[in-house]
Amino acid sequence: MSGRSLALGQYYAAKSPLHALDPRVKLFLSLTIVTALFFVDNLAVLVGAAFLVPVLASVAKVPFKWVLKGVRPLVFILFFTFLIHLFLTEGATLFAIGPLRATGEGLLKGIFYSTRLILVILFSSFITLTTSPVQLADAIESILSPLKVIRFPAHEIALMMTIALRFIPTLLTEAETIMKAQKGRGANFDSGNILKRARSFIPLLIPLFISAFRRADELALAMEARGYAGGSGRTRLHSLKITPRDVAWLFLGLLIIFSVVGLSWRL
Amino acid sequence: MSINLNAASFSYLRPKGRVIKAILPTTLSIQPGEFVAVVGANGSGKSTLAKLLNGLLLPTNGEVLIDGHNTKDADNKIFAPRQVGLVFQNPDNQLTATIVEDDVAFGPENLGIPPEEIRARVDRALKTVGMTEFKDKDPHNLSAGQRQKIAVAGILAMEPKYLVMDEPTSMLDPVGRRDILETLSELRQKSSIGIVYITHIIEEIVEADRILVMTEGKITAIGAPREILTDESLMEMASLYVTRPTELARRLAKKGVPVSKDLITVEEVVKELCSLK
C-alpha cells in the first residue's frame, strides 16, 4: 500500500489536442464510441477499428504501452468471456475437454466479443488518460447542472469528488503510518485466516476514521474561512467553454465513428 | 479602519450544559499594517481568538468589528473572510484541490470574482510566496512547508487587509518553518497587510510590533517584544521560555559580565559582547 505511487485514474499529463479538448466533448465522444462498438457486428471492421487506438494514443501523446495498461485489471474477465463463448456456442466440434466442447463458431465468437470488450476498455480509457480528475469533476458538474432546477446537488457532488480525490493519497499515507506504528507494537496484519486478518485491521481503521473525521472538521472550517458558502455565486478559474476547435473535433470524431459503423453494415 | 474587539467573549457549550469560557471579555484593537504576535500556552484561547477575528466564531457577548462591520450581521458572512484571512496549523487540512493553482483559486472563486481577475490574483499570490513554478503540481507531492505556502497563497489571493496565522509553522520541519517566516517578512515589507501571528515559538516574533500574552482566556500582557520577552515572571506565568539570546545575556549578567539583561536577538548579544573590552 504505497500512497506515493498511486496513479489516480491513470491520468497522463501532456500537452496534446486531446488533453485540450473540452472534457464534456470527450465524455460525449467516448460514450458514442462505446455505443457504436456495440453496433459493429463485423470482426474485420472491429479489428480495423483497433488500429485507431495507437493513432489516438499518438494524437494524445500518451505512450501506447501506458494505454494498454488499462486492460490489465480486466484480463480475467476477458479470458472468462472468451471461454464462455468458446465452449457454449453450438457448432462443429474443434476439441473437447470432458463434457465441454469447443466449437469453431465459438472460437470466432469468443475472439469477436473479447476484441469488442478490449476496444470498449481502450477507447473509454482515453477519457481518464487525458482528463485530470478536477476537469472531469467540472465536466460532471456542468453536465448535471440543468438538474439543479429540481434541487439536484450537482455542485456539491463535483466538490465531493474533488475533495475525495484530494484526500485519498493523504489518507493512504496516514494508513501506512498507522500500520507501521501498530506493527511496531506487535500487531500482525498479514497472517492467520481471513476472519483473523479482517479483525487485525480494526486497530488500523479506527484511528484512520477518527483522523478522517477530524480532518473533515478542520477542512470545513478552512473552507468557511476562505469564504465558501455553497455553489451559488461562485465563479471558476477554468470555466468550461466550447470553442470552435472543440466543435471541429466533435464533428471529426462523429464522422469517423459513423463511417466505421456504416462500413460494418455495408459488409 | 481596524479590527476591534469590544468586550468580546466566547464560550463553548459542551454536553450536559457545561460551559467552557475560552475567551473572557476582551477589548483589543488591531491596526492595518501592524504585526501583532499572540503567545500563550495550549488552551489559553489563542485559536479561539483567531476565529473570532474573522467571523468564523461569533462572540457570545460583546462584539467584533472589522473596519466597522459587525461580524454578527448576516450581511457580513462573506465580508469577514474577505477582509481577514485565516491560515491554520495543518497545511493538509486546508487544501481543497489536487492542483496547486486550482487550490489557490478556491477563495477568489467563492467571492465570485471574474475568471480573468482570478487568474491574475492566483499568479500574483503564487509569486508572493515563491511557488510559481509549482502551479501545476499536486500539493500532495510537495513538502509540508511548500503546502503551507500554498495555503498562505490561497488566502492572499482573496486580498484580505488582515492576515491571521494560527501556529502556521508548528507542523513544519526547520526548513519549512524558515520558508514560511521568510515569506512573512517579505509580505510585511512589500504590502501593508496587518498580521496577527499566533505561536508559541518566541524566536519567531522578536520583530513583532506588539506581543499579546494570553493565559486562560485573558490577555494578561501586551507590549513591545523587548518589554514582554525579558519579563521573566510574565513568561513563566504564561508557560513560555525566554529566547536563547536573552537566556545567555541573563546568565552572563549573573556571572558578573556587564551586559544588558534585556537583549532579545542574537545580533544584539553579539554587538553587546563585542563592545566589551
The region that residue A91 occupies, defined by phi over 0 for left and psi between -120 and 50 for alpha, beta otherwise, is left
Q: Is a pLDDT exceeding 90 seen at residue B272?
A: no
pLDDT of residue A118: 92
Q: Is position A144 within any domain?
A: no
Q: What is the mean pLDDT of residues A115-143?
A: 88
Predicted pLDDT of residue B27: 93
Query: What's the domain count of chain A?
Result: 1
Residue A153 lies in a domain: no
Nearest neighbour of A162 by CB, restricted to B88, B93, B97? B97
B140 lies within 8 A of chain A by CB? yes
**B78–A166: do the CB atoms touch at under 8 Å?**
no
pLDDT at B3 over 90: yes
- The ipTM estimated for the assembled molecules is 0.87
CB neighbours of residue B58 within 10 Å: 16
Strand duo B18-30 + B3-14: pairing: antiparallel
Of B56, B95, B139, the CB nearest to A224: B56
Closest CA to A93 of A84, A80, A102: A102
Residue A197: is its pLDDT beyond 50? yes
Nearest to B119 among A219, A228, A237 (CB): A237
User: Alpha helix locations (H) across chain A?
Assistant: 17-20, 23-37, 43-50, 52-60, 64-68, 75-88, 104-130, 133-144, 154-184, 194-200, 202-225, 244-266
Residue A78 C-alpha cell reads as 476477458
Contact B102 A165 (CB under 8 A): no
Range of the domain at A55: 1-131+242-267
Looking at the domain assignment, is residue A120 inside a domain? yes
Set of cell numbers at residue B61: 457577548
Of the candidates A23, A135, A125, the one whose C-alpha atom is nearest the C-alpha of residue A65 is: A125
Nearest to A222 among B93, B118, B138 (CB): B93
B153 lies within 8 A of chain A by CB: no
Tell me the C-alpha distance between A250 and A231, whole Å.
29
Tell me, yes or no, whether A15 lies in a domain. yes
Cβ-defined contact of B96 to A223 (cutoff 8 Å)? yes
Tell me how close the Cα of B54 comes to any Cα of chain A, in angstroms: 7
**Residue the block writes with cell 511557488:** B131
Positive or negative, the Cα torsion across B113, B119, B125, B129? positive
Cell numbers linked to A89? 456456442
Q: Is the pLDDT confidence value at A4 over 70?
A: no
- Taking the Cβ of residue B115 and every Cβ of chain A, the question of whether any pair is shorter than 8 Å is answered with yes
Return phi, psi of residue A202, to 5°.
-60, -45
Model confidence band, residue A9 (pLDDT cutoffs 50, 70, 90): low
Cβ of A134 within 8 Å of Cβ of B98? The answer is yes
Is some CB atom of chain B closer than 8 A to the CB atom of A165?
yes
Percentage above 90 pLDDT, chain A: 39
Report the mean per-residue pLDDT for chain B: 90
Task: For residue A138, give the nearest of A240, A231, A232 by alpha carbon.
Answer: A240
Cβ atoms within 10 Å of A92's Cβ, excluding its own: 9
* Of the candidate ranges A158-167, A186-195, A237-246, B245-254, the one whose mean pLDDT is the lowest: A186-195
Round to whole Å and give the CA distance between B153 and B150.
5
Distance CA B44, CA A77 (A): 60
| Contacts A–B by Cβ distance under 8 A | 98
Per-residue pLDDT of B14-43, as tens digits, reads 888 888 899 999 999 999 889 999 998 888
> What is the DSSP secondary structure assignment for residue B206, as one 8-state letter?
T
Q: Is residue A199 part of a domain?
A: no
Asked if residue A140 is part of any domain, the answer here is no
Q: Do A132 and B90 touch (CB under 8 A)?
A: no
Quick check: B269 pLDDT over 60? yes
Q: Is residue A197 domain-resident?
A: no
Q: Measuring CA to CA, how many Å separate B32 from each of B2, B66, B223, B226?
A: 6, 11, 17, 22
Q: Are B56 and A221 an interchain contact pair (Cβ–Cβ within 8 Å)?
A: yes
Q: What is the pLDDT of residues A29-87, one digit of tens each?
A: 999 999 999 988 888 889 989 999 999 999 999 999 888 888 888 889 999 999 999 99
Rounded distance between C-alpha atoms, residue A166 and residue B234, angstroms: 44
Q: Which residues from chain A sit within 8 angstroms of residue B106, using beta carbons?
A: 223, 226, 228
In a domain, A265, yes or no: yes
- Is A99's pLDDT higher than 60? yes
> Between residues A196 and B154, which one has the greater pLDDT?
B154
Using an 8 Å CB-CB cutoff, list chain A residues near B85: 225
Mean pLDDT of chain A: 87
What whole-number distance in Å separates Cα of residue B57 and Cα of residue B45?
A: 13
- Tell me, what's the pLDDT at A219? 95
Cell numbers representing residue A20 in the block: 485540450
Contact A235 B122 (CB under 8 A): no
